[in-house]
Amino acid sequence: MKLCPTCGNQWPDEQKFCPNDGSALKTAGTTDLVGSVIAGNYHIEKKLGEGGMGAVYLGQHVKMGRKSAIKVMTQSMANDPDAIARFNREATNAARINHPNVCAIYDFGETRDGLIYLAMEFIEGESLSDLLEREGALPPKRAASIFQQVGDALQAAHDLGIVHRDLKPDNIMLTKGRGGADVVKVVDFGIAKAVGGEEGQKVTKTGLVVGTPEYMSPEQLAGDKLDGRSDIYSLALVLYRMLTGTLPFQADSAQEVMIKRLTDEPVPLNAAGSGLTFPDQLQAVMDRALQRMPGERYGSAAEMARDVTQAVGDMADTAPAVDTEGATQIISATPSTGATVAATRVAGLGAPKPRARTPDTPAVAAAPPGPAKKKPVLAIAAAVAVLAVGGGTAAVMKISGGATRTPSVTPDTAQQRAASDPSQTQRPAAGRDLTQRRQTTDPQTTTIPPKDTTTARVEPLPERGIPVSVGDATDRLYAVLDHFSLAGNTPAPIASAAMDTALAYYNAPGIPAKARALAAYIVSQSEGALENKSEALRWARIAVDLDSSNKSYQANLSGLSRPPQ
């Protein structure tokens, strides 16, 4: 299909000019880039993967001969300022961190043809999550080596005032160095924020949070402003999983995980059933890093890495006997549909030494104290209890004052129009419809593409029923959109999970109109993938009502309104 850059409508490939306004049409997707040269520098050799926002290619610099992973936005997304801002933020955040354990950014920009691209290090390896799924718990010294490199990468980011905010095994890539040693590359700074800047101040300011709960800190669940100590909490959970093959808070639902995170003590290492005996010194490290209050944790990732190395030093380096089929209880909405860009190892890298740092120096300067509020433990526990009773389908949690309201379809003027037009209102049974659809869809019979460790991985969909931060709602929704196939064959389980998440954002109080429009657009895409055209069309209209300037939404509505050929 081709896209009109003026009106946003899509037309058949054989069409050269838009019938509406005469503009020259551009290719809507990025499937034709193989064999081309981007920005005069990168010869595209093959496609590595794709998502709703674009595709990732393997490219080679025409002069230097260096392999690179090239992210290219779809032309339709390139018309969206919010999508471009997220894309540029990933580039600028990661490019500032010059460290051997962080995936390097080489270049980014826009070509004369209007392609927005990002050239980054090509990593030939696998994610830590893939390694753990295959092998279970790791030998302690191997886990400590990986941990130290991740810690050093985070320290480099924290020294620049950048908080990753999404540290988990999926975002830790492993490649092999000399002698077969693991070399770490921390990836995906797409939702990272700079503490103290304008972006940092906008995050979670209304006290709502949504996301997968496994590796989130209590303050992130609470919707508070974050500093580097939130990453340290997540890093401790990654270490726990590497050592034991499981996580310290076990539950059958996302709501229970959150409740346990905020009310229970983590399961001690020696009680995790790994078959190993861990020293008291290592348990003390874990206890400190998993404190609920940030001020009681380690002040820096480097300090924690030093203590882990010392504690593991005298342990026998044998792998725990862990049943990988059932030991790890990860609560995810849907399988990941790809892999983070695969990377090249710089010759001669060993395990980086932690930087000397004063023990009590914060990893990143803490955000200035705001108005007094409920302690996160009490606030979230109470709200989660409400969620648990409600079933958790597309639920949203309000942390501080105010009740969850039924959302309007559009801003104030459109609310009145919606009230008189039932077709423009939120369907009250959306959650029940989704539940019924999931009950009649056998996930075992749905073909999900296998993980490809040489492709670009999209961020896993947020867990159903878990609240998110309003401040980064657009970022999170674009991450959900990454799961949609450009070819139009998005699997039903992914579409259902995406719809749950989008409805949660759409219904959340305080969500800006543009973010709500994006949520409506995702619901429309989901309904289309589930072959419910009438609902897809209705939600497409809602998206355009909320943000009439967005050409992607206009093109979607136009395509759905067109009579079948």
- Positions marked active-site: 166
Q: Which of 308, 282, 275, 302 is nearest to 145 (CA)?
A: 308
Helices in 482-550 by DSSP H: which ranges? 492-507, 513-529, 533-546
Q: Which two tokens stand for residue 408?
A: 């309007």
Altogether, the residues listed in the chain come to a count of 565
From the CB of residue 422, how many other CB atoms can be counted at a distance below 10 Å? 8
For residue 108, what are the β-bridge partners? 118
- Terminal Cα-to-Cα distance of the chain (whole angstroms): 15
Between the CA of residue 456 and those of 4, 48, 130, what are the distances in Å?
A: 28, 7, 14
For residue 73, what are the β-bridge partners? 54
Helix or strand run (H / E) with residue 64:
none
Helix or strand run (H / E) with residue 56:
strand 54-61
Question: Would you say 505 and 468 are in contact if contact means Cβ atoms under 8 Å apart?
Answer: yes
Contacts of 513 (CB under 8 A, 6+ apart): 410, 411, 546, 547
Q: Phi/psi class of residue 76: alpha, beta or left (left: φ > 0; alpha: ψ in -120 to 50)? A: alpha
Place of tokens 């908080």: 163
Q: Which two tokens stand for residue 235?
A: 């890093």
Between the CA of residue 26 and those of 35, 109, 487, what are the distances in Å?
A: 18, 18, 17
Place of tokens 């992130």: 220
Question: Between vectors from CA 554 to CA 414 and to CA 76, what angle results, nearest 5°?
Answer: 135
Place of tokens 């549909």: 337
